[in-house]
Structure formats: structure tokens, C-alpha cells
Amino acid sequence: MAPFALAPYLEATRVRVEALLQPRLSTLFGRAPEALLEAMRYSVLGGGKRLRPTLCLSFADAVSRASGGGGEAADDAACAVEWVHAYSLIHDDLPAMDDDDLRRGRPTSHKVFGEAMAILAGDALLTEAFALLTREATPLRASLCAELAGAAGAAGMVGGQVLDIAADRPADRAHLERMHGLKTGALIRASCRMGALAAGARESELRLADAYGRAVGLAFQIADDVLDVTASREAMGKPTRADAARGRPTFPAVLGLEASRAMAREQAELAAAAIRPLEPEPGPLAMLARYAAERDR
């Protein structure tokens, strides 16, 4: 068997995700104000790596080989995590938060639509993610909703953002891991878990998804911090050196650049090891873990 090639897999999955996102936003046409839908589309359909939906679908595929199909629930879950991710970027970029003007090479939402509409577009994407997940009244749909709400809420992503903007944040590794574990890690972990759940994962498989998602989330965030130091604004599509400019603690600042890179690789190895029972030969999940740690943008 030829070794698994990540690049074509990432591209094929990206195309698959785009094809899922578009019609799901379209169901709101005619029922919601056009100006709001335009702002929602701008952020959801404006590119991005689609890491979270890719993890979600990859887990659904990996689990369903054993137990029989992620289907529409997995597709909805993939879109819901991406909507929640898009909402979090819109709100994080607001003048009252990070006050960023550029995201993915384009002006941020509030620069294009104004602050009020940006807040509301974020609110709507968050809310519609839960509407999408519960468009069927089944126990599975309620579980998916609970996973997403837990990961995105006060003890997850929002809580992490609060820690990140706190004036008295300590600059040590424990704080960084806790903050990022909530701010980025929780949603990445939930993306893995939701894909597995949608495909009918057993409890043991859910535990694998959890361990994998935790390690990948950390690897991804360390890589993000490293890229903020080493990459160009052009490659990233947003300002770099932004963390240092804000006096924000980062892994390279706390551990040094080489130790940070080593830690990202170590987490990717952990993730790949965790997933071996589900993916005995290195496949999408092992490669995605490596990609999270070693990506160049």
C-alpha cells in the first residue's frame, strides 16, 4: 500500500467541508435579514484551514469503518464546530478584545460591517450552530449539542479567552497550557469527540478521540505561537509578532523557540500513539497530528 499522502487528503476534505457549509448557511435565506447573512457568510466562507471540521469528519470516518457511518450527524457536527470557530474569531478580533484589522488576508468582520453587525454575526453563528445540531430530535443530537456547548462555554473557549485577556495573567507554562487548553484546545477536542460520537463510537473510542484531541490542540497552539515569531505576515494573512506586541505570554517566550518546537512534535507523537488502536497504519489522523505541530502557516 502506498504511504498515506496528507496534502491531497487535506485538499479533498477542504472541498468536502466547503460543500457542506454552503447549503447549511443557505437554509437561512429568506428567513433572516440579508445584511446579517452576508456578514455570517463573509466569515464562514472566507477560507481558513478547516482544521476542526477536518478532524471531525476524519474521526467519523475512522470510527465508522468499525461501526457504520457518521452520515448527516457528522456533516452537521463538522459545520457546527466551524461556525463556532468563525464566531470566536469575529468576537476575538473586535476593538474591545484584540482589535485586529486583518484575518486570513482580509479585513476583519467589524472593519467591513461595523462593530454592531460583527457582534451580531458572531452571536448568530454561535446560535445557529446549536440549531443545526438539533435539527433532528434524537439522543445523539442532544449529545453533540452538549459536547459543543461544554467546549465553547464558560469552562471552555470563552473561559480561555477571559484568561487570555486578564491583566494579571502569569507568564509560565502551567498558565499557558491551562489557558490554551480552554481557548483553543477544548473546541479541537470537541471536534474529534463529536465526529466519533456521530459515527456511533464506543466509550473506548471516545477516550481515544479525547486523548488525541487534547494533544493535537496543544500541538496546534504551540505551532501557532512559533509561527507568530517565525512566519511572515504574508504567509499568515494576519499580523505576526502580535503576541509579543501585546505583552502576551507565548510558548517561545516561556520555553524558548527550539524547546517549543520539540514540545509540539512531542504532542503530535502522543496524539499519533493514542490513535493507533483506531488507525493501525499511519493515516489521516496520525498525519493531521503531525501537520498541526509542523505546519508552516
Alpha-carbon distance of 221 to 251, in angstroms, equals 9
Nearer to a copy of itself, 134 or 230 (CB): 134
Residue 143 binds to a copy of itself (criterion: CB under 8 A) = yes
Dihedral (CA of 101, 159, 251, 294) sign: negative
- Binding range to a copy of itself, per CB under 8 A, among 130-138, 207-215, 263-271, 278-286: 130-138
Of 275, 245, 269, 295, nearest in space to 59 by CA = 275
Q: Quick check: 152 and 186 in contact, CB under 8 A?
A: yes
Nearest 5 degrees, angle CA 53-CA 58-CA 63? 130
Residue 139 binds to a copy of itself (criterion: CB under 8 A) = yes
Site for a copy of itself in 90-129 (CB under 8 A): 91, 94, 96-97, 114-117, 119-120, 122-124, 126-128
Residue 45 binds to a copy of itself (criterion: CB under 8 A) = no
Q: H-helix or E-strand containing 222?
A: helix 203-230
Out of 6, 158, 231, 255, the only residue in the binding site for a copy of itself (CB under 8 A) is 158
What character string, x for contact with a copy of itself (CB under 8 A) and - otherwise, covers 160-199? -xxx-xx---------------------------------
What contacts 24+ positions apart, CB below 8 Å, involve 165-170?
A: 165/97, 169/249, 170/249
Q: How many other C-beta atoms are found inside a 10 Å radius of the C-beta of residue 153?
A: 13
Residue whose entry in the numeric block shows the C-alpha cell 464566531: 87
Strand partners, 102: 107
State CA 247 to chain mean position distance. Answer: 24
- Binding range to a copy of itself, per CB under 8 A, among 158-166, 188-196, 233-241, 268-276: 158-166
| The total number of residues written for the chain in this structure | 297
Out of 153, 170, 239, 256, the only residue in the binding site for a copy of itself (CB under 8 A) is 153
Site for a copy of itself in 62-91 (CB under 8 A): 91
CB of 164 to a copy of itself, least distance (A): 10
Give backbone dihedrals phi and psi of 106, rounded to 5 degrees, phi first: -130, 160
CB of 72 to a copy of itself, least distance (A): 14
DSSP 8-state code for residue 155: T
User: To the nearest 10°, the Cα dihedral for 273, 278, 281, 287?
Assistant: -60
CB of 63 to a copy of itself, least distance (A): 18
Out of 12, 15, 19, 154, the only residue in the binding site for a copy of itself (CB under 8 A) is 154
Number of residues counted as binding a copy of itself (CB under 8 A): 53
Out of 17, 81, 148, 208, the only residue in the binding site for a copy of itself (CB under 8 A) is 148
Out of 12, 19, 146, 235, the only residue in the binding site for a copy of itself (CB under 8 A) is 146
Residue 206 binds to a copy of itself (criterion: CB under 8 A) = no
Q: How many other C-beta atoms are found inside a 10 Å radius of the C-beta of residue 244?
A: 14
Classify residue 185 as exposed, middle or buried by CB count within 10 Å of its CB (0-12, 13-18, 19+).
buried
Alpha-carbon distance of 251 to 259, in angstroms, equals 9
- Binding range to a copy of itself, per CB under 8 A, among 61-69, 144-152, 184-192, 215-223: 144-152
Nearer to a copy of itself, 143 or 230 (CB): 143
- The amino acid at residue 11 is E
Residues of this chain that interact with a copy of itself (CB under 8 A) are 28, 31-33, 35-37, 40, 91, 94, 96-97, 114-117, 119-120, 122-124, 126-128, 130-131, 133-143, 145-146, 148-150, 152-155, 158-159, 161-163, 165-166
